[in-house]
Amino acid sequence: MKKDQPQSLSNSKDKLITRIIHHHLFMPIAGLMVVLLSNLITKPDFFMISMNHGVLYGNLIDVFNRGSELVILAIGMTLVTAASGGQDISVGAVMAVSAAVCCSLLSGGAASTNVLQMPILVAAIAGIAVSGLCGAFNGILVAKFKIQPMVATLILFTAGRGIAQLFTKGQNVYVRVDSFKIFGNFMPGIPVPTPIIISVVTVIVMAIILKTTTLGLYVQSVGINSNASRLVGLNATRIKFITYVICGLLAGLAGFISASRIYSADSNNIGLYLEMDAILAVALGGNLLSGGKFSFAGSIIGAFTIQGLTTTLYAMNVSADQLPVYKAVVVVIIVVLQSPIVQKRLRRIQMRRKSVKVMEEGGASA
């Protein structure tokens, strides 16, 4: 029944293409490429990277730099989504809490300081730890009390910025110390922006955790079938709880970076609306928001797609207040392209083309 050689050769080529198209990261990468490459038409120097005063400059660097917090948030959001089939909408507010704790400790409670009242590391860890507690609070509500994630995390979404204000006594706390600024800007002698380094380290650490523990398998298993997972000996409650704690810790880290960028704790603006971008990054990465299988790589690509879009639009001189409109349009297109209906249509077209080709070849040989 084997067909002649040349056809099977072209078949194997077809198969490779099919495999690439069907890879779970194909659409996310395609989305990112479309966003970035559109700059080739409008602004070719988008891809230029230059060295000024010993540091790297360029739009592309901007995308990676500005996208750092989003990448960190997206990783936590991916875990939460996979394990609980829901999202943590409090991460933006938790960022503000982290920033508030950290800055008010550094300033010793004053509204502004030029001298550190405490080692930065201690303050940063305190901020991140409080964020971890926020995550634990969410985790208990979701995992133990089985409250829907959206509702459970709505509490801190609403209250989080208020809590941050409690720490800062309602002011914007400024930490005007150069050694604090480096985490959101540059380290002396290193051309790469520090946030990029922090986000890369975070990704590597998460990758190591996935490699050296079974968290990935457990999270997916619990997210797909919580009943069955319990019966094979997994503690579904604890696993969901852990993901929320991790999500909180990562939000705290992102909040610390944000605070360092503007060397202050601006409780009303740090991380504002970023939870939505983080959820979108997870979705753009091809992850199901209903939980189960997940891909960090997808979410990270999704995060850069969103940041790439923002930077691209700024590069096109779109004003900040019109930005959301354009962003929305592009997001709609990407999301619709990834939807099951469109994917099915595309597959059908592909199949039809293949069958036409086979028929033509059959006709030619006859």
Enumerate binding residues for other proteins (CB under 8 A).
211-215, 217-218, 220-221, 224-225, 227-235, 292-293
How near is the Cβ of 279 to other proteins at its closest, in Å? 21
The two three-digit tokens of residue 214, written as one number? 């079974």
Q: Return the number of the residue (176 or 352) whose C-beta is nearest other proteins.
A: 352
Query: DSSP H helical segments within 85-119, as ranges?
Result: 91-106
Q: Return the number of the residue (176 or 230) whose C-beta is nearest other proteins.
A: 230
How near is the Cβ of 141 to other proteins at its closest, in Å? 21
Computed on alpha carbons and rounded to an integer, the radius of gyration of the chain in Å comes to: 23
How near is the Cβ of 125 to other proteins at its closest, in Å? 23
The two three-digit tokens of residue 152, written as one number? 């459970």
Q: Return the number of the residue (235 or 269) whose C-beta is nearest other proteins.
A: 235
Return the exposure string of 30-68: e unless at least 16 CB atoms fall within 10 Å of the residue's CB, then b: bbbebbbebbeeeeeebeeeeeeeebbebbbbbbbbbbb
Q: Return the number of the residue (81 or 90) whose C-beta is nearest other proteins.
A: 81
Q: Return the number of the residue (122 or 204) whose C-beta is nearest other proteins.
A: 204
Q: Return the number of the residue (176 or 348) whose C-beta is nearest other proteins.
A: 348
How near is the Cβ of 245 to other proteins at its closest, in Å? 14
Q: At 51, phi and psi to the nearest 5?
A: -105, 120
How near is the Cβ of 203 to other proteins at its closest, in Å? 19
How near is the Cβ of 77 to other proteins at its closest, in Å? 19
| Helix (H) or strand (E) segment spanning residue 211 | helix 194-212
SS3 call for 328: helix
How near is the Cβ of 235 to other proteins at its closest, in Å? 7
Cα dihedral sign, 332-334-340-343: positive
Distance CA 276, CA 224 (A): 24
DSSP state string for 235-286: -HHHHHHHHHHHHHHHHHHHHHHHHHHTTEE-TTTTTTTHHHHHHHHHHHTT
Rounded to the nearest 10 degrees, the angle between the axes of helix 296-315 and helix 68-84 is 140
Q: Return the number of the residue (234 or 330) whose C-beta is nearest other proteins.
A: 234
